[in-house]
Structure 1
């Protein structure tokens, strides 16, 4: 383990490092007298340059905001790296060998060399993909970008590229650059079959995933061709330089704005990040095929370090049930932020990319500005699950909502929401206080199962398969876990929008949604799902993965899988029809003829889809 760097070596770094060279990577400098340079301050907004540096003495100072320091402090502030990380980075850049106190050692040179080779491979791959975006074959990729409102300049700014359709285009390119297969195996850029390595990403729109310092450490690829049977989004697997729980897409573009504006906006996809930044929401980032977790929270806390001013984290989730579940999970982690947490949902459930495409940049900004406190969103969601017109419904709603209030650390804010909740439910505030007092004893909070932190204990009871709908859900999960390769791309799309009735099944479904973007090897598929669900449900995943299916031949198995998944989709359609029928019954055709016809048309389309599923069987 590395010890403290010797003081004289730190001084040597300060002496050798060229402050002007480092600062000019971030600030345009102009001569401001003998030995002095000035530019617009990177630490605050200004129109007249007040940021000055003097390379000879290795110091910078802003006369506008008062920020000052040496080359190490500057790089720390710009890259949000620790003191030791910054010194080691500068030492490597300027060829200084560091020594450590108490016999400690610095980074292992061999390991540093291996890491650098991986970074070099990713840099070359990044350039290769970007060049390929201009090829004739990549017209489908360019059309995809254009169709979503992105220009060539936008693609270049965010390093968007294209992976050619062949099996070894990138492989041959990196081999020609001197990389050995043993090295290439560790990059995550290739899969391995009986004939050796082959390109992992083929015929996809590619986004480079960078670390905090801007190094490309992984990629995300979007499916473009109908014959591509892989997941819609395919990310790099875990490698020595890429840990999905420790990276946020777009962080290299957003980090300075996050620190400056004290705001972090979390969106769901690569195009959403691009759309937000282009629209002026330049604090947006996205997770890479996984839920927003502890590793991401550490990044957020690092960027939103407490300086006495309010900070906020805004989550933008889809308006569907899965998005709402993700919001609840985010709320359960909110206590780890030294910031206020909010949720922003686009009109009609649209994501930021769709909002920008159909309504313009200002509409994206308006979505973020219209954010709702996350605690309020979660409380209202709890109440929607109960009939507040009945005594039993109010009692159940109170038990469901009380644990949410207990997680509010601010006493005055908790009191305010206690009164607010009492008003929404039409009960005395004392009843809410009593439910809060009883909630921790009734529902112990377990960090290993985030969804249970704010919901009643029975949520993860074993599903009752005597209910035909629940039994069908179980059978569908068995198929998905045991035979993911038998599902078509269209079936995956449908499955991702299904809402399961049994809470435990829905939690598994959420885990499958996340895992599907990551696991491509059938040998690791089930374990990947296990790691994405709350710990109490992991045994259930294993159980479903080994349950025998009622099929004796491959043909019979294909038919069984197909029919089970069709029934799952049909159940979803029936639920949607029931909701629309209820909406139709509450409408006055004379008062809203257009809306009435629209709902009727939606009903007819759902019925057409249902019949087509039955006909396919």
Structure 2
């Protein structure tokens, strides 16, 4: 994707051609809430009660839980992880609008130019590794290994698998011959500096390119050919483009299928993803290692509501599944677990049993989250020992007690009763006591740990501190200004930047600049001109306000006077403090002077208030 600038007329055409309800509706299930409003669960944070609102008339969205807000372009930026120009191009393509780029490389920062150079070098590196695997003597052992593991030529091409030859600096020579700065590429994780110059990071390894969600190569993973080599996997070190905690392998190819199915299948390794893809799992991804982060979970929640964990059947794989299941559930995802036989991974299972059996018996028959947790505890405890058996029962009851549906609790209690040969009435009594104790400790709601989300959970929300009159006057004035060029020019003449809340003053400055270039009010287009997240959130909040009094000269005058009086009130308070201090230290002359200034200020404020009556 080009990083140049998109002309204003193209941005305007895109915003006029698309409907934010359609754009948001691909990610969020929206329901109508009023004449032009829709609401749904926020895609940017976990919640159970909808606080995410979309205004079709104004073409903006706002979450009253986490504060996210903006127009359709901003939504695509946040959900897809794209830049502003890329988001415009993304929407333009959907709307059938041609995009003309103004290429101004000289406007790029040095960092942007370096990132672009890295991306070009990564692409060249991938082609080099592919060529070595498929067309050289050095690559034949690796190609034979892949074939024996069941990798077809189609799979190798689709996932761009390559091979790093056993030379110390072959890639370094190729990159340098193409004019790349090896010192910069060392920072980009492709080479490293040794005693005799630059050396290749990867040698004698099968190479799996790692793409970002847009399909650009940003890193590589290298797997050894021989089991005696260590480490088994070697990744590109973290760079400005590659952060393991924020990357999912194969997301760029799986994304459309994930959206269609509203489901992600999460694997442990690259080979599992690739073999499962061939078997029919087109919505499969993998994290960079078994440790899943909250960033991974948040990313997955943007694309799907459900995750199926398909980890190795050994103890380590199941332990990782149990740990990561909790991370995913904490992010509000619905989680299931596809169980493999002990000591088998997806790759091995597919090799032994075939694609169809894998799809039906493993991916098509996952355990619920609760089933998996109960099985996990059953393996963990020795049921032949009374103490261990009691620990298993209490651990299981703790899991069952958290289920909201009585029918679910009944189902699992019956299974536990049969497994442990204990009366179900006894289990129900102990579970009931657990539920009561839990309710005493913490009322059930969404995002209990996040006070900013109290507005939509079960808890009593803490009322926000009352805002001063000038705060509301500034917001009401900005609301009207966003809808009127004439009013904005009037406010600019009378107030300029003299708004008392910093973010309000910044929004006013943007409005002055916007209407200097545009004769018609377009709130969606205005929001798209804002550069900072706080400004976007504030503008979206103001636009979502219920319309105040109708526009009238009297109302505007009242707003402006309310805003103008604040500096004088603050100045008066400051003068009073200074006079008290002068009296304390015995500076009579200064105290008299300040007293005179205070009388003048109080008279001015009194006259100001008379004018308002």
For Structure 1 versus Structure 2, the TM-score category normalised by the shorter chain is: 0.5 to 0.7
Task: Tell me, in whole angstroms, the C-alpha distance in 2 between the residues paired with 1:236 and 1:264.
Answer: 25
Q: How far did 1:16 drift?
A: 14
1:95 is matched with which residue?
A: 101
Task: Tell me, in whole angstroms, the C-alpha distance in 1 between the residues paired with 2:368 and 2:12.
Answer: 49
1:220 is matched with which residue?
A: 221
2:207 is matched with which residue?
A: 206
* SS of residue paired to 2:138: helix
Task: Tell me, in whole angstroms, the C-alpha distance in 2 between the residues paired with 1:434 and 1:281.
Answer: 43
* SS of residue paired to 2:248: coil
Q: Give the structure-1-normalised TM-score.
A: 0.54
Question: CA 1:434–1:15 in 2, change beyond 3 Å: closer, same or farther?
Answer: closer
1:384 is matched with which residue?
A: 379
Question: CA 1:6–1:254 in 2, change beyond 3 Å: closer, same or farther?
Answer: closer
Q: How far did 1:327 drift?
A: 1.5
1:375 is matched with which residue?
A: 370
**More displaced, 76-85 or 313-322?**
76-85
Question: CA 1:377–1:303 in 2, change beyond 3 Å: closer, same or farther?
Answer: same
Question: CA 1:174–1:89 in 2, change beyond 3 Å: closer, same or farther?
Answer: farther
**More displaced, 148-157 or 409-418?**
409-418
Q: How far did 1:187 drift?
A: 1.5
Q: Any conservation in 1 of the 2:313–2:343 contact (CA below 8 Å)?
A: yes
**1:501-580 pair list within 5 angstroms:** none
2:552 is matched with which residue?
A: none
Task: Tell me, in whole angstroms, the C-alpha distance in 1 between the residues paired with 2:143 and 2:324.
Answer: 34
Q: How far did 1:241 drift?
A: 0.6
Question: CA 1:111–1:386 in 2, change beyond 3 Å: closer, same or farther?
Answer: same
Task: Tell me, in whole angstroms, the C-alpha distance in 2 between the residues paired with 1:146 and 1:77.
Answer: 40
Question: CA 1:174–1:377 in 2, change beyond 3 Å: closer, same or farther?
Answer: same
Q: Any conservation in 1 of the 2:336–2:369 contact (CA below 8 Å)?
A: yes
Q: How far did 1:201 drift?
A: 0.5
* SS of residue paired to 1:363: helix
**1:190-205 pair list within 5 angstroms:** 190-205=191-206
**More displaced, 400-409 or 339-348?**
400-409
Question: CA 1:262–1:84 in 2, change beyond 3 Å: closer, same or farther?
Answer: same
**1:155-554 pair list within 5 angstroms:** 155-225=156-226, 229-304=229-304, 311-366=305-360, 367-388=362-383, 391-405=386-400, 408=403, 413-414=408-409, 416-418=411-413, 420-427=415-422, 428=426, 429-435=428-434, 437=436
Task: Tell me, in whole angstroms, the C-alpha distance in 2 between the residues paired with 1:235 and 1:441.
Answer: 47
CA root-mean-square deviation: 3.7
* SS of residue paired to 1:347: coil
2:31 is matched with which residue?
A: none
1:130 is matched with which residue?
A: 130
Task: Tell me, in whole angstroms, the C-alpha distance in 2 between the residues paired with 1:441 and 1:387.
Answer: 32
Question: CA 1:290–1:436 in 2, change beyond 3 Å: closer, same or farther?
Answer: same
Q: Any conservation in 2 of the 1:218–1:235 contact (CA below 8 Å)?
A: yes
Question: CA 1:416–1:224 in 2, change beyond 3 Å: closer, same or farther?
Answer: same
Q: How far did 1:15 drift?
A: 9.9
2:566 is matched with which residue?
A: none
Question: CA 1:117–1:188 in 2, change beyond 3 Å: closer, same or farther?
Answer: same
Task: Tell me, in whole angstroms, the C-alpha distance in 2 between the residues paired with 1:421 and 1:264.
Answer: 30
Question: CA 1:211–1:396 in 2, change beyond 3 Å: closer, same or farther?
Answer: same
2:599 is matched with which residue?
A: none
Task: Tell me, in whole angstroms, the C-alpha distance in 2 between the residues paired with 1:441 and 1:79.
Answer: 38
Task: Tell me, in whole angstroms, the C-alpha distance in 2 between the residues paired with 1:80 and 1:317.
Answer: 27
Task: Tell me, in whole angstroms, the C-alpha distance in 1 between the residues paired with 2:9 and 2:394.
Answer: 60
Q: How far did 1:194 drift?
A: 2.7
Q: How far did 1:8 drift?
A: 4.1
Q: How far did 1:436 drift?
A: 5.0
* SS of residue paired to 1:137: coil
Q: For each residue in 1:399-454, what CA deviation from the matched residue of structure 2 results, as whole angstroms up to 9, or x when unmatched?
A: 333443455466764565455444543442111333455579999xxx9xxxxxxx
**More displaced, 418-427 or 335-344?**
418-427
Task: Tell me, in whole angstroms, the C-alpha distance in 1 between the residues paired with 2:337 and 2:409.
Answer: 18
Task: Tell me, in whole angstroms, the C-alpha distance in 2 between the residues paired with 1:403 and 1:237.
Answer: 41
Q: Any conservation in 1 of the 2:6–2:101 contact (CA below 8 Å)?
A: no
Q: Any conservation in 2 of the 1:331–1:375 contact (CA below 8 Å)?
A: no
Q: How far did 1:108 drift?
A: 6.5
Task: Tell me, in whole angstroms, the C-alpha distance in 2 between the residues paired with 1:426 and 1:226.
Answer: 47
Q: For each residue in 1:501-522, what CA deviation from the matched residue of structure 2 results, as whole angstroms up to 9, or x when unmatched?
A: xxxxxxxxxxxxxxxxxxxxxx
- Unaligned ranges ≥5, structure 1: 18-71, 99-106, 305-310, 448-617
* SS of residue paired to 1:219: strand
Question: CA 1:406–1:219 in 2, change beyond 3 Å: closer, same or farther?
Answer: farther
Task: Tell me, in whole angstroms, the C-alpha distance in 2 between the residues paired with 1:391 and 1:226.
Answer: 43
1:150 is matched with which residue?
A: 151
Question: CA 1:363–1:348 in 2, change beyond 3 Å: closer, same or farther?
Answer: farther
Task: Tell me, in whole angstroms, the C-alpha distance in 1 between the residues paired with 2:99 and 2:174.
Answer: 27
Task: Tell me, in whole angstroms, the C-alpha distance in 1 between the residues paired with 2:77 and 2:111.
Answer: 27
- Unaligned ranges ≥5, structure 2: 18-71, 93-97, 448-613
Q: How far did 1:198 drift?
A: 0.7
2:496 is matched with which residue?
A: none
The one of the two structures with greater contact order (alpha-carbon pairs below 8 A, sep at least 6) is 2
* SS of residue paired to 1:209: strand
Q: How far did 1:270 drift?
A: 1.1
Question: CA 1:239–1:78 in 2, change beyond 3 Å: closer, same or farther?
Answer: closer
Question: CA 1:144–1:6 in 2, change beyond 3 Å: closer, same or farther?
Answer: closer
Q: Any conservation in 2 of the 1:422–1:432 contact (CA below 8 Å)?
A: no
